[in-house]
Amino acid sequence: MIFRTGIIALLFTLCLFGCSTTKPIIWKAQDISFNDFKAFEIRPVFNATGKSVNQDIPSFLTESLKEQFELQNLQLTDATQTTSRVLVVQSDILVYTTHKQVTGKQVATASGGTYWLAQCSLLTRLINKSTSNVVARISTTNEFGLKLREYENHERILKKSAATVATEVAKLMQPMEPELLDSVWP
């Protein structure tokens, strides 16, 4: 019984201090065909946390979004493009926290040490540039708990958050499979 409880506690700890991601929440307008859009304009990320954060964080996240969109083969454009085939990507940081959690002994050993916990929640809107209508919203949350220096967690959590958004946008851009017709098999 004690062994089983110990194994469960160990598995819980490994899950807690690993990478945790909740499933993104996606909303999309039903009357929009994403096949009509050919490029993306990524606007600077806005800090909507209500708290002051390091100015590098929104800038780094904006650059990470651009990098991840390119990795997903999503074409980027600048603000001068006025065609109706552009989606504006506007992201807000809703939650951004990092803090130390000390477990066990203060000495960094296998049984204890200092962990940096980081969480980043984003709300990303895809906006039809020609009509200014929101055509999709993507809400993501990523968490990390690693035995690293604080700045390393910043980069990892922001890159992971950008990758999650880019992956979900790429999924939206995939052509929809034609619905199966009602038919009777011979």
Within the chain, how many helices (H) and strands (E) appear? Answer: 3, 7
The whole model's pTM is what? 0.73
Contact assessment for residue 143 and residue 153, using Cβ atoms and an 8 Å cutoff: no
- Output 30 or 5, whichever has higher pLDDT: 30
Asked if residue 53 has pLDDT above 60, the reply is yes
The pLDDT assigned to 101 comes to 60
Check residue 10 and give its pLDDT.
Answer: 39
- Span 83-110, average pLDDT: 71
Per-residue pLDDT at 67 exceeds 90? yes
164: pLDDT strictly greater than 90 = yes
DSSP readout, 115-148? EEEEEEEEEEEEEETTT--EEEEEEEEEEEEESS
- Residue 14 confidence (pLDDT): 40
Count of CB atoms within 10 A of residue 69's CB?
A: 20
Average pLDDT of the chain is: 76
The widest CA-to-CA distance across the chain, in whole angstroms, is: 73
Residue 117 has what pLDDT? 73
Q: Please check the confidence at residue 181 and state whether its pLDDT lies above 60.
A: no
Q: Is pLDDT above 90 for 55?
A: no
pLDDT of 185: 44
CATH class assigned to 19-173 = alpha beta
